[in-house]
Amino acid sequence: MTPPSVDPAVDTDRVISGSRKTAPIEPDVKCVQSVGCVVVTYNPDQQLLRAQTLALKPQVAAIVWVDNGSHHSLGGLASELGVQLVGFDHNRGVAHAQNEGLALIWAMGCDAGLLMDHDSLPAPDMVAQLLRVMNQVPSAAAVGSHYSDPRSGGVSSPFVWVDGLSLRRLTRDSQASYAEVDHLIASGCLIRQQAWQSVGGMHSELFVDFVDVEWCLRARHAGWCVLGAWDAQMEHTIGHDLVRCFGRNFRVHGPSRLYFHVRNGIALYRQRWIPWRWRCVSAYRLGLKMGFYLVCGPNRLAYLKTMLAGIRDGLSLRLR
């Protein structure tokens, strides 16, 4: 992984220091008017994908599905719903799929791209709320949705900010429509085309996990800011199963997914352009996650093996 190139004229001290003041507004940043949507799919629930598409169509100018080698063809459903389908013969990773989809969206003339996972369901005004915040803050590279997991009883996941050596869960100020955040999840994230051209695309070698985090950190390093829109609501499922441990329910992924999480996290900690405080906070949380899987995971030996492989490949930057 190579560090991003940053215009030396851009003052990154504000971003690296952790100050939460908005970056200076650039006079040549254009108002966003046209939004295209990229949905990355992999063996989706087709009924949920249909519901998502019907919810999105009134909100965006175009929808592109990028399918990562699903076992069943989506061609018939795509034709029925009037969306463009790009299909790969095998899983090439979330980052590569997002890059391919956004390239199509930009070619259509859209000046912002909405990223969605196939299992996310947007509120009827989600895109309008994201767009409103983006046009309020021209220095915003990306604006993300406030999502809730339907399996958790509708409790919304908080926006977060690394504050010193802790990860602060942000609460809404009654007068605020948005908050500056540390990073966003990809699903429900609206990306400004001008920022994309300035910052570059997703790092495809990461494949999955930390892809969105790394891009947000890179955008902030380049002088942009990243925002969460409180009123942009979305349902989104994280993790395959819920595991009960220590009297609480936790969302878990399978062992193969944990490999990428460990590998990519450690690879990012080796990047000197990333603020050291962020690396410390994230590494501490990654250690807690690995400990949790070893204590509460349903197949502890499998998790241990993938963790050790992830540590090895992350330290050696073996990302392909």
- pLDDT (tens digit per residue) in 285-304: 999 999 999 998 888 999 99
Note the pTM of the prediction, 2 decimals: 0.89
Per-residue pLDDT tens for 44-76? 999 999 999 999 999 999 999 999 999 999 999
How does 53-91 read in b/e, with b if 16+ C-beta sit within 10 Å?
bebbeebbebbbbbbbebeeebeebbeebebbbbebeeb
Q: Report the pLDDT value the prediction gives residue 194, as an integer from 0 to 100.
A: 96
pLDDT score of 33 more than 90: no
Confidence of residue 233 (pLDDT cuts 50, 70, 90): very high
Q: State residue 44's pLDDT score.
A: 95
Degrees (nearest 5) of the Cα angle 81, 87, 92?
135
**Which domains are assigned to the chain?**
13-25+34-236 (3.90.550.60), 241-315 (no CATH)
Distance from C-alpha of 184 to C-alpha of 214, rounded to nearest angstrom: 10
CB 226, CB 201: distance < 8 Å: no
65 DSSP 8-state letter: E
pLDDT at 15 over 90: no
